[in-house]
Amino acid sequence: MPSFLKDFRRRSVRSFRSSDRSSHDHNGSGTSIPTSKSSSTLSSVYQQQSTPPPSLPSENSFTSSKLVNGGPTPVPPLPVRPITTNGHRNSSYVSTRCATNQLLQLKTFIQGGNGMTSPPPLPPRYQPTSPFAPRITSIENRAKVHQKIVLISGFIGDQDSKALDGHVTLHCEKESFPPTSWFVSDSHFKCLVVLEPGVNLLRLDFTSPKISGSSSSIPAHSSWIELFYLPLNSVPPLHLAIILGRDSPGTYDAVPERVEREGNGLDTAVRKFRMAAYLWQAFTAEQMHRNGFGRRCWRYDEEWSPSTLSYVETMAGQFRNEARIHIIRSEKTVAELRDLNIAQQHEPATDKGALFGIAMDAVKKHFKPTPAQKQYVSCMFLDTHWDPEQQVVRGHAALGGGDGEVSLAIFGSHALQNYPGSMEEVVPAFTDSTKTDTSLIANDCNQSGTTWEAANIGIGAHLHETGHLFGCPHQESGVMLRDYVTLNRTFTTREGFCTRTNSQGLRVCKKEDECGWHRLDCLRFRFHPCFRQPTDPGPAADESVQFWKAEHCNMITADSGVAWIELYPQGDDLCHTWIEYLDNRPRLVSVTEKELRSKLPADKRNKPLKVEIFSCGGGKHVVEDIGQLNSKQNRLKLPDGRKGWTGSKLGFSQMEGSEPQELILDSAWWEKSPDRKKVLMSIRVYHGFAVDGLEFVYNDDTTQLFGKRGGKPGGDEFKLDTVKGEILMGFYLRAGLWIDGIQILTNRNRKSEIYGNPAGGSGHTLIPPRGYEIAGISGSCGQWLDGFSLIITR
């Protein structure tokens, strides 16, 4: 028998556990159900009566009305028939087959399939060795993660026992990463661990001068945890880049002591930027987990290069797969970059967007992106320089945004000297209270008075701009406000003197003291392509959202499902009220204006209300004033007396000479009169690089034209099979500023080609909600169609 099967043949399939799909095999939230006292390495063998630390709610436990209530309902273990051998001569074969089956189940767990959510428990030798063994509360044993560096936190002993100080030393199995030591303050600890792809067995040893240690090689106070690291290679990466002037020497601002100790050249900049980026990733994954979305995060483009994550490995010249830092030379000189005098916090700034444009040009030249392969890039200008005479940071801008080819974030290097360059430097960087020498380096917005505060501002503000890169606006709290001034609390257990508040920092930095991503940021991340996980559905073919006004309510349709709605009463630039639909992700939501206004504070319910609607496919639709949609201008009366309503419009109707148009289809009302029935036989589409017009042809050879007859002479005709009852069901449009392309959809699941430009704009499906039909088309036309919406009726 192979040696790796020996441990498995001693256990039956009973040692496997199963739970619902909301546990960590589907979303990484780490929710699992212990089946025996030996199944968790997080509880002490000396405290078997104590309950394990509560787990956070899974993604499926969040609903629109219960965002933070309860986790998933426990699912009991599946009954498994015990295997018996009865001394049969084939018993060795049966045992081997059993062990093989267990290996297959373990493989299934790692791949996240067939409902297998937890492999066999760790052997007894991996149980905690004393009541003072570290107890991990932030992550479940055998959780799956998708990022290289994971944040782990917990406490020593029982939370009600006497507080202890000391150190936790983290060891990786087979010494895949050098041991690292982390402070314990009042029994609380936090540490970062670097994982290898696959299974990672970790040992945490606690030592303290207040308790006795071990006189042998066996650690006295140890616990173990096993984590599965599954790298993501099927989602677009976040690229990291350093931009230099074409004549740059490749150095950044640093005090002489720093330059002498660690240098300030390009190699050091790469180490520090890479470490900061991994801190972003660990921070974000932990925040997503706390919000019930599993430890999902973006991935980095990695390369095989000399390791910088550990000082020990750097000195030994060891190689690893680590985040690649692209080095990009700008066409501008250092003087040109600095003479732009970009400093968003100061009046002398002349063009706050100039550096963003320079960075965008340099990035596009380097990556050569296409609309079909969008790039996500977070950049740092290395030639940023503090001018103490004018009190201005030159060559720096903090901005994030992008276009259809590149999503970009930019930041300066004026705080780079304070960043950690390796795992061993993380805690020192976030606890160093050395005062900032403003004659040499910047005190950003007077919030970087010490080294650790400057590290917060630099790493946190760049993360803020990276949030903009992923589509996050400013929020009422969190990283997208300015809560990153307390970023240090995520990675340390104590806080030094704070010059920003002129007060002594926290004695113990607990979870409730940390900064975080706002819930709305996490919602955006949940459905962003860079955060997709293997168990998620594939990219939505249609991410659009449509808003329809009807007789007694408003209807929202989204082919990928409605995710959430944000409400903005007049005067609110930030969202304070939103509604989530993550529980069932409906494709149709009916809601009245009164219901939406009832969610707002009493003093804002009568103000004009803007509504932003988001789909599970990542689409967004904005209704600038929901009250206007309910006005008479969006209602009309059909010739047969029925009411009609105009849906949300595509296109901006801003072309030169653009004029509004409205067309009521004859077939929508003539067919109600049996003696004068009209049947729509075909639709002609006039198009070139955009859509010029639509002509509707009837059974009596009459036609109706919406738009104009331009583009291809005679257009293209799509005929309906009226003998089989085929009728017009809706349209699929490619639209942006105008209508780029259009596709005709019928009730028999037939569709035309996309006439016009099939790659222009973004995709939108216009099909009336259930119980309604197309009565006509409303919009506008200039040189071609630049506005399009459906008129619907019952």
The full DSSP string for 371-432 is TTB-EEEEEEETT-EEETTTTEEET---EEEE-SSEEEEEEESTTGGGS--SGGGHHHHHH-
Out of 313, 465, 580, 612, pick the active-site residue.
465
Contact 421, 289 (CB under 8 A): no
**116-147 b/e with 16+ CB inside 10 Å = b?**
bbbbbbbeeebbbbbbbbbbbbbbbbbbbbbb
What is the token pair recorded at 419? Answer: 């960043």
DSSP state, 530?
G
Cα(357)–Cα(339) distance, integer angstroms: 15
Q: Which amino acid is located at 742 in the chain?
A: I
Q: What share of the chain is helix, strand, coil (3-state, %, to 5)?
A: 25, 30, 50
**What pLDDT does residue 42 have?**
31
**What pLDDT does residue 615 have?**
95
Beta strands in 620-772 (DSSP E): 620-623, 635-637, 643-646, 659-664, 680-687, 691-698, 703-707, 716-719, 728-735, 739-746, 755-756, 762-766
In what helix (H) or strand (E) does residue 517 lie, and over which residues does it extend?
none
Cα(309)–Cα(273) distance, integer angstroms: 11
**What pLDDT does residue 341 have?**
55
Contacts from 345-351 at CB under 8 Å and sequence distance 24+?
345/393, 345/444, 345/445, 346/391, 346/392, 346/393, 348/390, 348/392
Q: Which fold has domain 546-629?
A: Immunoglobulin-like (2.60.40)
Contact 631, 642 (CB under 8 A): no
Written as one string, the DSSP assignment of 196-236 is -SEEEEEEEEEE-TTS---SSSS-SSEEEEEEEE----SSP
The candidate with the shortest Cα–Cα distance to 224, out of 135, 327, 161, 325, is: 135
Domain 637-793 CATH (choose: 3.20.20.70, 1.25.40.420, 2.100.10.30, 2.40.30.60)? 2.100.10.30
Contact 137, 155 (CB under 8 A): yes
The candidate with the shortest Cα–Cα distance to 519, out of 569, 466, 480, is: 480
Q: Which amino acid is located at 429 in the chain?
A: A
| CATH architecture, domain 3-229 | Sandwich (2.60)
All CATH 2.60.40.10 domain ranges of the chain, comma separated, are: 3-229
Name residue, tokens 């149980």. 127
What is the token pair recorded at 692? Answer: 């010029």
- Kindly give the parts of the chain with pLDDT less than 70: 1-122, 124, 159, 214-218, 341-352, 630-633, 670-676
> Within 10 A of 80 (CB to CB), how many other CB atoms are there?
11
Residues 6+ apart with CB under 8 A from 563: 523, 526, 527, 580, 581, 582, 585, 614, 615, 616
All CATH 2.100.10.30 domain ranges of the chain, comma separated, are: 637-793
Edge-to-edge strands of the sheet including 691-698?
703-707, 691-698, 680-687, 716-719
**Sign of the torsion angle spanned by Cα atoms 91, 96, 99, 100:** negative
**What pLDDT does residue 732 have?**
94
The candidate with the shortest Cα–Cα distance to 472, out of 568, 574, 616, 623, is: 574
Cα(735)–Cα(764) distance, integer angstroms: 7
Cα(370)–Cα(405) distance, integer angstroms: 6
Residues 6+ apart with CB under 8 A from 160: none
Q: Which amino acid is located at 436 in the chain?
A: T
In what helix (H) or strand (E) does residue 457 lie, and over which residues does it extend?
helix 451-469
Contact 535, 555 (CB under 8 A): no
**What pLDDT does residue 111 have?**
47
> Within 10 A of 713 (CB to CB), how many other CB atoms are there?
7
Say whether 465 is catalytic: yes
The two counts, helices (H) then strands (E), for the chain are: 12, 39
**What pLDDT does residue 384 have?**
95
The candidate with the shortest Cα–Cα distance to 224, out of 118, 109, 122, is: 122
Cα(469)–Cα(529) distance, integer angstroms: 13
Q: Which amino acid is located at 511 in the chain?
A: K
φ, ψ dihedrals at 313, nearest 5°:
-70, -35
Q: What is the pLDDT of residues 273-323, one digit of tens each?
A: 999 999 999 999 999 999 999 999 999 999 999 999 999 999 999 999 999
